[in-house]
Amino acid sequence: MQTPSTRYALSGQNALVTGGSRSIGRSIALGLARSGANVVVNYKQAADAAARTVAEIQGFGRKGVAIRADVSDPVAVERMLDEAESAVGRLDILVNNAGILRRTPFLEIPLPEWDMILATNLRGCFVVGQAVARRMVKHGIHGRIVNVCSDSAKDAARLLTHYCVAKAGLSMLTKQMALELAEHGINVNEVNPGLIETDMNRKDLQNESFRQFRLSLIPLRRIGAPDDVVGAVLFLASEDARLMTGASVFVDGGATIL
């Protein structure tokens, strides 16, 4: 797929993308770098992928660094932010993107799996969002926080109870953050991708009947790619979105209108 161009100017700004080593996170990290930002790539396990993403960021002439941290662990997050500030400077932009998915019938979800999904997809966004926002307030930075949510925040889906609940919680977290951080000049919004082919669902989409069923629910009859999410994130991270906070932007081919 051809690398998209960008019209957003983020030169001189510093961004953190959680889960930034692969798929949607990687595309967002590269989009921020193309727009002029220095980028911190957070990862938990994919060290090689994170290193490759950082190399591409540096290829745009930006500062880039990969930092391993579990986003649900407050101690690890504070360490990550210390390292990030040492590497690129104080953060202006946070993209809460880290997320995981499991497909399990409601009656069969074990409690550890429930806790794992909510720890990354909801608790992690709270922990990182709060820690970054505290530093923005301390330093007087009128920053931008973008939470990567999902259309699953709005619509129930079979086998995805824990995922949908976590994303619904994240959507309300976005609103609460936006409300309470507005007085500090920090804008908080969310992007809700629909069906995007990523490492998490590629195997599922290889099932032709599943693929066709999902396509039937999308008015544009198109499965998205990670790059399709980038423009919305860049817009919300830019000065063009200065009057937006607490907003939800759906990038889903029209699925939520059905």
Quick one: which of 129, 99, 95, 105 has its CA closest to 117?
99
> Which residue type, as a one-letter code, is found at position 168?
A
Q: In the chain, what is the straight-line distance between the N-terminal and C-terminal CA atoms, in Å?
A: 29
The residue from 8, 43, 163, 250 that is catalytic is 163
> Is 163 known to be catalytic?
yes
Q: Can you tell me the distance from the alpha carbon of 8 to that of 143, in angstroms, rounded to the nearest whole number?
A: 16
Q: Are 37 and 93 in contact (CB under 8 A)?
A: yes
C-alpha dihedral (224, 213, 217, 172), degrees to nearest 10? -70
Beta pairing partners, 39: 15, 64
Burial of 45 (0-12, 13-18, 19+ CB in 10 A): exposed
- Rounded-to-integer distance, Cα 247 and Cα 180, Å: 14
Q: Using CA atoms, how far apart are residues 228 and 31, in angstroms rounded to an integer?
A: 11
Residue 100 DSSP code:
-
**Residues acting as catalytic residues:** 163
